[in-house]
Amino acid sequence: MKYSTYLLTIVAGVLLALGGFFLFSANHNSGNGETASIIGGGDNVKAYVLPISQPTLVPILDDSALKPEINSKAVLFYDLRSGKYLFEKNIKEKLPVASLTKVLSAIVALENLDQDDVVTIPKEAVRVDNERQDLYLGENISVRNLIRVMIVESSNDAAYALADYAQKKGIDFIQKINEKSLSIGMFDSSFTDPAGLDDDAFSTAEDMIKLVAYSLQYDVMWEFSREKEILVKSEDGRIAHTVKNTNQLLGVIPDIVGGKTGYTDQALGCLILIVDLPGYDSKIISVVLGSDDRFGDTQKVIEWIKVAYHWQ
């Protein structure tokens, strides 16, 4: 009996020692105070590391600040870091979003096409809106430059040229757009063309915020959107396009990360704007839909936010 007790004591001691060793190893390997944990079971056990908790600043509203009157059909201003809605109006209303669709088209192009590929402009991508011609039949232009023209000048021709080139490579561009929107969580959206010309397509201010938040991983797109004027040439250098930005808030509002405009007669004015918050590691993402004054409405709300909120 004494021998059994002695044996059990030894076994318990060994198990405790092993447990302490593995706990030390996990904490040591995680480094910088991070804690290693194990998830799963059987052959599928995986290790993951929980990061050190960081203090999160939260925007606090001063109720005494008078809200601006906004006549746009739908509006949403969003603090990226805290995930808080700072100003909202009809954020779930399904509305046409016009050329804001091109943010989604740019993402699909960046994820499925080589930026260095050269596209020969087909007749299906020339003057597609029957109003403005941005490209010339037969000219050769890179995918990268087509994305630039589409984002900076909101070129409908460029959007259709990208879609046509994708189709020739066996990629259904519109299907990809809708698949991508669903994968982002845009469950109240449907798109029918790459430029946003069809007002039967729709989204919501809330869904568009999800799109912009996802798109921030593509810095190049938003770098393009900050260019006031660019010169884009065909691959042989024979054709040059002077491309001017449609965003009137560039140089007016400080710390702009990027933006995208949109307009049709039915959708009215639409605008995405992304603004850095100096001194606070975050961004404000704004979406304005169905507006008679998209630039004025956006500027009024951003100025109000800077007065009405403080972060603590």
Give me the active site residues, please: 99, 102, 154
The percent helix, strand, coil of the chain (3-state, each to 5) is 40, 25, 35
Q: Which two tokens stand for residue 264?
A: 């049709």
User: In Å, what is the CA distance from 305 to each residue of 55, 77, 89, 255, 300?
Assistant: 22, 9, 15, 14, 9
| Residue at token pair 């990208």 | 162
Q: Which two tokens stand for residue 180?
A: 């991508």
Cα 65 to the center of its chain, rounded Å: 30
Query: What does DSSP say about strands 35-39 and 118-120: parallel, antiparallel, or unpaired?
Result: unpaired
User: Is position 123 annotated in a ligand binding site?
Assistant: no
CA distance 182 to 184: 5
User: In Å, what is the CA distance from 149 to each residue of 246, 248, 283?
Assistant: 11, 16, 25
For helices 205-215 and 173-184, angle between their N-to-C axes, nearest 10 degrees: 100
User: In Å, what is the CA distance from 77 to each residue of 57, 204, 210, 248, 285?
Assistant: 17, 13, 12, 19, 6
Backbone phi, psi, residue 202, to 5°: -160, 160
Q: Which two tokens stand for residue 170?
A: 């066996």
DSSP structure class, residue 9: H
CA distance 32 to 54: 13
Query: Are residues 246 and 238 in contact, defined by beta-carbon separation less than 8 angstroms?
Result: no
Binding-site residues from annotation for substrate = 260
Binding-site residues from annotation = 260
